């Protein structure tokens, strides 16, 4: 059984503004007729049922299909190429009916929309404009409810692309969809795509915020599962390498793709299942982060090096971990924020992934965390030929490899 762990009242504490939700739709009448209504069930999954044609008491029950709708968050700094990416995805042959949600800051004004499609009869879009910035103000807030209402009202679609504003921290939005999939919703978070502008990326990443907090461009890179290093036509090869190096120094787990006009194969963008424990890709991500030469060098570098900026730190420990001790560590790190580096600065985690060998569990356990939320899920069995090991990839600020490894080592004693 899987459940996302969250700090009680974490959602009340987040400084999310209240949102005014409005939506406009562009789905054609004919598409409406073709779509059976989506009926959310009262428990974990959504059940899609066809309207009964006749009174069915003596007939067997109509077949039902249980499914959840993936949500991909597209984020990136102002002008990086998010809308270009949306346009590209919508015009490709994906065979999906995609709903697009714009999470737009700023009062009023026409929100720029990707081109309208649908003439081919294969692509359908819904537009849900979330004005004044925010999707998420409470656990089941207006944003998620609005999407569910949209599904009820306008019929079924099989994919949601959510474009955040260029100035958004995708963490809270990701948290709400991730958590929501645990709360009887018909949505699940598939992955986070961050688009960066090769030309201005370094400038954005280095911007200092007046309050000293991590800036949005860095947060967007830190949270990503996939990073499109876009506008490669505007930079030289050495400049591009510098950009990639900088991005890797923040997030060495995400998949980096060089793009022109945000174009890349759709398989690298959709249906990532990046937050699901049963996904091989998740396992691979964590292993890849550990075995790549880049991360290896960072791991050793970080064992004696403190970095105040956001970075990736990988800790690898053999042996079986005590679950209670490990969860205490996690809660100290994510909730209490009581784990400090050797300078006395609080380690601030933006994202955390891990594959764990827990003493009470014969299978691998996948750990995922986004800000204060974390989830531990049993996945595949440990192959007999493989040594049981714990690999954790931390992305955050003020990280100190030595301190993290020291605390974790106590849990495997
Ligand atoms: N040269 C070049 N221009 C690009 C590329 N990708 C996108 N653009 C252009 O960059 C501009 C901004 O692209 P958008 O897709 O609107 O960027 P955005 O991230 O949605 O922008 P905001 O919504 O303002 O945050 C547009 O004029 C695009 O045509 C690229 O690879 N190379």
Is the pLDDT at 195 greater than 90, yes or no? Answer: yes
Judgement on whether residues 86 and 194 belong to the same structural domain of the protein = yes
22 alpha carbon to ligand 1 midpoint, in Å?
Answer: 26
Nearest atom, ligand 1, residue 87 CA = 15
Laid out side by side, the sheet with 98-103 consists of: 20-25, 126-131, 98-103, 159-164, 69-76, 187-197, 226-230, 255-258
Distance CA 357, CA 320 (A): 5
Judgement on whether residues 170 and 256 belong to the same structural domain of the protein = yes
- For the Cβ of 79 lying below 6 angstroms from any atom of ligand 1, the answer is yes
Structural domain contains residue 162: yes
Of 199, 233, 268, the last residue of a domain is 268
Is the pLDDT at 268 greater than 80, yes or no? Answer: yes
Q: If you take atom 3 of ligand 1, which residue's CA is the nearest one?
A: 231
Judgement on whether residues 377 and 309 belong to the same structural domain of the protein = yes
Is the pLDDT at 186 greater than 80, yes or no? Answer: no
233 alpha carbon to ligand 1 midpoint, in Å?
Answer: 12
Name the pLDDT band for 177 (thresholds 50, 70, 90).
Answer: confident
CATH number of the domain at 351, please. 3.30.1220.10
Judgement on whether residues 16 and 145 belong to the same structural domain of the protein = yes
Over residues 82-88, the mean pLDDT reads: 92
Task: Give residue-wise pLDDT tens across range 15-52.
Answer: 222 222 222 222 333 333 332 222 222 223 323 333 34
Over residues 309-323, the mean pLDDT reads: 92
CATH number of the domain at 121, please. 3.40.50.300
Nearest atom, ligand 1, residue 76 CA = 19
Structural domain contains residue 84: yes
- For the Cβ of 198 lying below 6 angstroms from any atom of ligand 1, the answer is no
* Residue among 77, 83, 86 to mutate when testing ligand 1 (max atoms within 8 A of CB): 83
Structural domain contains residue 148: yes
Distance CA 118, CA 212 (A): 46
Is the pLDDT at 223 greater than 90, yes or no? Answer: yes
Of 211, 243, 268, the last residue of a domain is 268
Judgement on whether residues 57 and 137 belong to the same structural domain of the protein = yes
Judgement on whether residues 204 and 119 belong to the same structural domain of the protein = yes
Q: What is the pLDDT of residue 3?
A: 60
Task: Give residue-wise pLDDT tens across range 328-379.
Answer: 999 999 999 999 999 999 999 999 989 999 999 988 898 989 888 898 888 8
Judgement on whether residues 222 and 289 belong to the same structural domain of the protein = no
Judgement on whether residues 81 and 172 belong to the same structural domain of the protein = yes
Q: What is the pLDDT of residue 148?
A: 66
Which range among 142-156, 295-309, 325-339, 386-400 has the greatest average pLDDT?
Answer: 325-339
Structural domain contains residue 275: no
Name the pLDDT band for 135 (thresholds 50, 70, 90).
Answer: very low
Q: What is the pLDDT of residue 371?
A: 84
The residue with greater pLDDT, 90 or 239, is 239
Over residues 277-303, the mean pLDDT reads: 44
Structural domain contains residue 372: yes
Q: What is the pLDDT of residue 149?
A: 63
Structural domain contains residue 98: yes
Name the pLDDT band for 208 (thresholds 50, 70, 90).
Answer: confident
Is the pLDDT at 401 greater than 90, yes or no? Answer: yes
Of 243, 268, 293, the last residue of a domain is 268
Judgement on whether residues 53 and 197 belong to the same structural domain of the protein = yes
Structural domain contains residue 274: no
Judgement on whether residues 61 and 167 belong to the same structural domain of the protein = yes
* Structural domains of the chain, count: 2
110 alpha carbon to ligand 1 midpoint, in Å?
Answer: 18
Judgement on whether residues 219 and 321 belong to the same structural domain of the protein = no
Judgement on whether residues 264 and 291 belong to the same structural domain of the protein = no
- Domain carrying residue 372: 280-412
Q: If you take atom 1 of ligand 1, which residue's CA is the nearest one?
A: 231
Nearest atom, ligand 1, residue 195 CA = 19
């Amino acid at each position: 059984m899987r459940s996302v762990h969250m700090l009680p009242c974490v959602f009340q504490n987040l400084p999310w503004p209240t949102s005014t939700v409005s939506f406009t739709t562009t789905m054609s009448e004919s598409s409406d007729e073709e779509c059976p209504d989506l009926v959310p069930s009262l428990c974990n999954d959504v059940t899609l049922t066809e309207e009964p044609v006749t009174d069915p008491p003596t007939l067997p029950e109509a077949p039902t299909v249980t499914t959840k709708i993936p949500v991909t968050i597209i984020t990136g700094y102002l002008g990086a190429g998010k809308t270009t990416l949306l346009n590209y995805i919508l015009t490709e042959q994906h065979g999906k009916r995609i709903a697009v949600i714009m999470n737009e800051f700023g009062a009023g004004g026409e929100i720029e929309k990707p081109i309208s499609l649908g003439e081919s009869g294969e692509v359908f879009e819904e537009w849900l404009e979330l004005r004044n910035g925010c999707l998420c103000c409470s656990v089941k807030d207006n944003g998620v409810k609005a999407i569910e209402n949209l599904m009820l009202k306008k019929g079924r679609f099989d994919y949601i692309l959510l474009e955040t504003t260029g100035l958004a921290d995708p963490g809270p939005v990701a948290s709400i969809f991730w958590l929501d999939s645990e709360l009887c919703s018909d949505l699940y978070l598939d992955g986070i795509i961050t688009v960066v502008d090769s030309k201005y990326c370094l400038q954005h990443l280095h911007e200092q915020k007046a309050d000293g907090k991590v800036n949005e461009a860095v947060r967007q890179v830190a949270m990503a599962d996939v990073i499109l290093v876009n506008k490669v036509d505007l930079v030289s090869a050495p400049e591009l390498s510098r950009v990639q190096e900088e991005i890797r120094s923040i997030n060495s787990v995400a998949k980096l793709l060089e793009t022109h006009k945000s174009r890349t194969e759709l398989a690298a963008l959709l249906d990532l299942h990046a937050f699901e424990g049963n996904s091989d890709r998740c396992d691979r991500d964590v292993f890849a982060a550990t075995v790549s030469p880049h991360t290896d060098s960072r791991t050793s570098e970080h064992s004696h090096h403190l970095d105040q900026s956001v970075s990736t730190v990988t800790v690898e420990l053999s042996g079986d971990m005590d679950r209670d001790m490990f969860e205490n560590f996690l809660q100290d790190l994510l909730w209490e924020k009581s784990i400090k580096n050797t300078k006395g600065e609080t380690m601030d985690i933006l994202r955390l992934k891990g594959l764990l060998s827990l003493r009470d569990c014969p299978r691998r356990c996948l750990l995922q965390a986004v800000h204060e939320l974390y989830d531990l899920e049993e996945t595949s069995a440990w192959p007999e030929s493989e040594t049981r090991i714990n690999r954790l990839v931390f992305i955050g600020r003020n990280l100190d490899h030595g301190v993290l490894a020291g605390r974790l080592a106590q849990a495997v004693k």
